[in-house]
Amino acid sequence: MRTSDSGSVSAAQALPVWEGREKIVQRIQENDTVILVGETGSGKTTQVPQFLLHAGLVTVSEPGMIAITQPRRVAATSLARRVASEMHCSDPATLTPKASTSDTKDLVGYSVRFDDRTTKHTRIKFLTDGMLIREVLGPLRPDGSTKKRASHSGLLKRYNVLIIDEAHERSLRTDMVLGLAKKIQKERRRRIHDGDTSLPPLKIVVMSATIDAQAFATFFGGESRVPILYVSGRQHGVRLYHTQESCQDWTDAAVRTVMQIHVSKPLGDILVFATGQEEIESMAQSLQLLSTQLDAWAAEEGHEGVPALLIRPLYAALGPAASAAVFTPTPAHTRKVVLATNIAETSITIPGVRYVVDSGLVKEKVFSPQTGIETLQVLPVAQSSSLQRAGRAGREGPGECYRLYTREAFRALQPMPVPEIHRTELSGAALQLYTMGLDPFTFDWIDPPESSLLQEAVVHLAELGAIASDTDGVTLTALGRKLALLPVTPSYARLLVAAAERGPHVASQARDLVSILSVDRSIFVELHDAEKRDLAEQAREVFVDASGDHATMLNALRAYLTQQAHAFSSHTQPSAARQEVRMWCQSHYIHERTVKNVLAIRKQLTRICHQHGIACEDDEAKPTSHGVDQDNDDDEEEDALVVTRSSWRMGATEKGQYTDLLQCLGMGRLSNTALRQPDGSFRRVAGGQTFKLHPSCILHPSKHGARGASYDSVQAIVFEELVLTSQTFARTVSKIEPAWLQEWLHPPS
């Protein structure tokens, strides 16, 4: 089996984990569960699966896999591609479940939501925690009832080894995986003891980047002892710098710090920790502009021979190919600047980084059981996260970390981050557990959530009709089973099911809307410059629907598909057609990459809806694919989903026909409905919090006069999220009728 050459082997041997490979394999062979602690950069995530494969815990000739879970899809895809490259296997991004080359070429794959890149030959599989949970859920019938489950269903029989990576991050789904893995391991052990020879034992390896591993060992060990192995990191000294005063505008401070490093420090890449995609794109634009003036600026500052500047973003919405650009070697006489979210803290290691600029902030969703609402907030990081960020600068040599906050501010940070299970909305997790026949209140959590959070989740599921209470307790309804089988939030699943009841036309609208809302950023380019923002709003006026943002985004997606169909029917050369589509997106300030992500999700949702009896009006259409990788952005990409022109022409009859869709949307978002107050603000129907509309909303009062509409017509709304800054704003908002609220809140008996 050809899995490596001398170059990749020598690189692997240089990793700290290599020295302990024999002991790691031995401990895993001898024990059901092992805790492995190693700093990011030690090589544990990429090398341990290969160690176990070579040691024969999984073989090429027999069924069985090594699963490695990741909290984030970017980490799952990029790590799979890196391991595949080291083993000289096919790039997982090019695999399809039915296509296969040979048993030595398809050994590594990945599975993330809406994107499965594995084959029957896969032996090392990277997947998100959420995808593993869905595998435990098992198949359901289209009518929502549970299929007659095989005796091994829900026991992850396909996996011989389960590696739970980044356990220290304590994401909600990681906590669920820990509890489920413990239960499954115990059940498989019991069945083997009772004589079941068809079921292999399940080896569990919990990997963490922090030394607080005893909690994991205690959780899995009980009275037995679970070994904890430590792998030293490759850490050089990092010099810390703090600001003298707190920064009023951290993005501006970060840009200035990057440029100061660039013109005054020796070569070495820079990693900037930002809060999210919007801030990353804003900084990227500023740095790109400054890079064009670099020579003049360097001369003015008295610096000579300043290297070129290469900007690389890294956030969740980027696809595998775009994310991979971060890991490519930096060209000669060039400095790479990686603008990243907290994914770069521990999930991945970026080579070449010698300088870190730390905003000291992180963007998180925080749920309050008192208000029943989840808000997106920018919060200070914990001390442990701050130390992890600084450590990124010392992986390959002495480094420097520039903290955009004071030394006193660091001392005031909480020691460890709050686990997600204590600050997030739990209805999705509760629904999945109920579907498995488990009670979220008695589930074996490593760190149980507050009962108030679970109670709020149960209330939400009851509002959706997913569960019912009787003398025997809480039971899952037939509707709840339908919602559980769809790989979206319970609210979006309720939207899809309700839309299906109104016919294929509304179902197709709902499917497209859920696809749009499932990506990590808006399909519209968000601009900070007031003049450019006005130009963008004028260009996008053609998409505007008076009902608000949801219908407007749908109009934009339909217009994109119409333009795409026109381009490919008008040009004989695909490259010319793609260029026309790209120019159309630029002129209408639309994120083409995001639209492509939407279409990829839409394609998967179409298949899922069809499997589960949700008929969409375009099910009969068989679009022709140009066989493309959606993440490829160069002129050779062939990521166009070609459709017949007649299928997607958006005429006057299409715009304004969203009443049924909005009614279905509200049925799944009761907790996100609000009534207008006399002062123009809005008050949530459930909870009573008041807020304003974000200026980007179509329904914002500043935009009504220009369209000849009255803001007074907006008396009730449904919204997607609340953003807490200096004030609380609702984003992605649409108008609904107050009478609908009465119907939803007081349905006829």
DSSP 686-739: TT--EEEE-TTSTT-GGGTGGGT--GGG--EEEEEEEEESSSEEEEEEEEE-HH
What is the rounded distance in angstroms from the CA atom of residue 158 to the CA atom of residue 387? 38
pLDDT at 91: 92
Average pLDDT over residues 83-89: 93
DSSP 585-617: HHHTTB-HHHHHHHHHHHHHHHHHHHHTT---T
User: DSSP characters for 301-323?
Assistant: HT--SPPEEEEEEE-TTS-HHHH
Using 50, 70 and 90 to split pLDDT, how confident is the model at 631? very low
What percentage of the chain exceeds 70 in pLDDT?
A: 87
Taking residues 453-468, report their average pLDDT. 92
Phi first, then psi, for residue 105 (nearest 5°) are -110, -20
Q: What's the pLDDT score for residue 650? A: 46
The whole-number average pLDDT for the span 665-675 is 90
pLDDT attached to residue 742: 86
- Looking at residue 624, what is its pLDDT? 44
What is the model's pLDDT at position 626? 43
Q: How far, in whole angstroms, is CA 739 from its chain's centroid? A: 36
What is the distance between the alpha carbons of residues 701 and 682, in angstroms, rounded to a whole number? 12
335-350 residues labelled b (16+ CB within 10 A) or e (exposed) = bbbbbbbbbbbbbbbb
Q: Minimum mean pLDDT among 343-352, 580-589, 656-665: which range?
A: 343-352
Q: Given this structure, which CATH class describes domain 16-142+152-231?
A: alpha beta
Mapped onto helix, strand or coil, the DSSP state of residue 241 is strand
Q: What is the CA radius of gyration of the chain?
A: 26
Q: Say how many Å lie between the first and final Cα of the chain, rounded.
A: 66
- Average pLDDT of span 330-344: 93
Separation CA 479–CA 434 (nearest Å): 13
DSSP-derived letter for residue 176 is H
Taking the C-alpha atoms of residue 598 and residue 558, their distance in angstroms, rounded to an integer, is: 12
HEC secondary structure over 101-138: CCCCCCCEEEEECCEEECCCCCCEEEEEHHHHHHHHHC
pLDDT value at position 263? 87
| DSSP letter (8 states) at residue 20 | G
pLDDT of residue 144: 45
Structure confidence at residue 1 (pLDDT): 42
Say yes or no to pLDDT of 643 above 60: no
Model confidence at 7, in pLDDT bands (50, 70, 90)?
low
The whole-number pLDDT of residue 637 equals 35
pLDDT at residue 649 greater than cutoff 70: no
Give the tokens for residue 253. Answer: 């401070």
Tell me what the mean pLDDT of segment 209-214 comes to: 77
Choose between 131 and 531: higher pLDDT.
131
Q: How far apart are CA 239 and CA 180, in angstroms?
A: 42
Residue of higher predicted confidence among 429 and 597:
429
Whether pLDDT at 259 is above 80: yes
Q: Which residues are CB-contacts of 194 (< 8 A; sequence separation ≥ 6)?
A: none
Tell whether the model's pLDDT for residue 645 goes beyond 90.
no
Which positions ≥6 away from 634 have C-beta within 8 Å?
none
Question: What digits encode the pLDDT tens for the residues 704-734?
Answer: 655 555 667 899 999 998 887 778 899 999 9
Q: Which of 25-34, 435-444, 636-645, 674-683 is predicted least confidently?
A: 636-645
Q: Which of 341, 360, 356, 340 is nearest to 392 (CA)?
A: 356
d(Cα 119, Cα 591) in Å, to the nearest integer? 32
- pLDDT band at residue 575, thresholds of 50, 70 and 90? very high
Mean pLDDT (whole number) for 207-218 = 84
pLDDT at position 577 is 94
What pLDDT is stored for residue 100 in this prediction? Answer: 53
User: From the centroid of its chain, how far is CA 194?
Assistant: 41
In tens, the pLDDT along 261-283 reads 998 899 999 999 999 888 998 99
pTM (two decimals): 0.82
Above 50 in pLDDT, residue 3?
no
Q: 60-64, 261-265, 684-688: lowest mean pLDDT where?
A: 684-688
pLDDT average, residue stretch 563-583: 94
Element (H, E) at 375: strand 373-380
When the pLDDT of each residue in the chain is averaged and rounded to a whole number, the result is: 86
pLDDT band at 211 (very low <50, low <70, confident <90, very high): low
Q: Phi, psi (5° rounding) for residue 686?
A: -105, 110
What is the phi/psi pair of residue 106, to 5°?
A: -110, 30
In this predicted structure, what is the pLDDT of residue 400?
97
Asked whether residue 334 carries a pLDDT value surpassing 60, the answer given is yes
Using 50, 70 and 90 to split pLDDT, how confident is the model at 154?
A: confident
pLDDT at 710: 66
Note whether 519 and 702 are within 8 A (CB): no
Residue whose token pair is 């003036």: 293
Architecture of the 425-485 domain: Orthogonal Bundle (1.10)
pLDDT band at 317 (very low <50, low <70, confident <90, very high): confident
240 has which bridge partners? Answer: 401
Q: How confident is the model at residue 633 (pLDDT cuts 50, 70, 90)?
A: very low
What number of other Cβ atoms are within 10 A of residue 182's Cβ? 17
Q: Which class would CATH give 238-421? A: alpha beta
Q: Where are the domains of the chain?
A: 16-142+152-231, 238-421, 425-485, 669-745
Per-residue tokens: 434:
């109920």
- Residues 354/342, Cβ–Cβ less than 8 Å: no
Question: pLDDT category, 746, cuts 50, 70, 90?
Answer: confident
> Is the pLDDT reported for residue 89 higher than 90?
yes
- Identical topology for domains 16-142+152-231 and 425-485: no
Confidence band for 142, pLDDT divided at 50, 70 and 90: very low
What is the DSSP pairing of strand 673-676 with strand 716-724? antiparallel
Question: Is the pLDDT score of 490 beyond 80?
Answer: yes
Q: Is the pLDDT of residue 534 over 50?
A: yes
Q: Which of 117, 120, 135, 229 is nearest to 181 (CA)?
A: 135
- Select, from the ranges 150-164, 199-213, 472-486, 501-515, the one with the highest average predicted confidence (pLDDT): 501-515
Asked if the model's pLDDT at residue 243 lies above 90, the reply is: yes
* Predicted local distance difference test score (pLDDT) of residue 376: 77
Give me the pLDDT at residue 152, please: 55
Residue 212 has pLDDT above 90, yes or no: no
Helix, strand, coil % in the chain, rounded to nearest 5: 45, 20, 40
pLDDT above 60 for 655: no
pLDDT at 325 over 90: no
Instruction: Check whether 134 has a pLDDT greater than 80.
Output: yes
Distance CA 16, CA 623 (A): 49
Task: Give the best-scoring range by mean pLDDT among 179-183, 350-354, 681-685.
Answer: 179-183
Q: Tell me the C-alpha distance between 82 and 532, whole Å.
A: 39
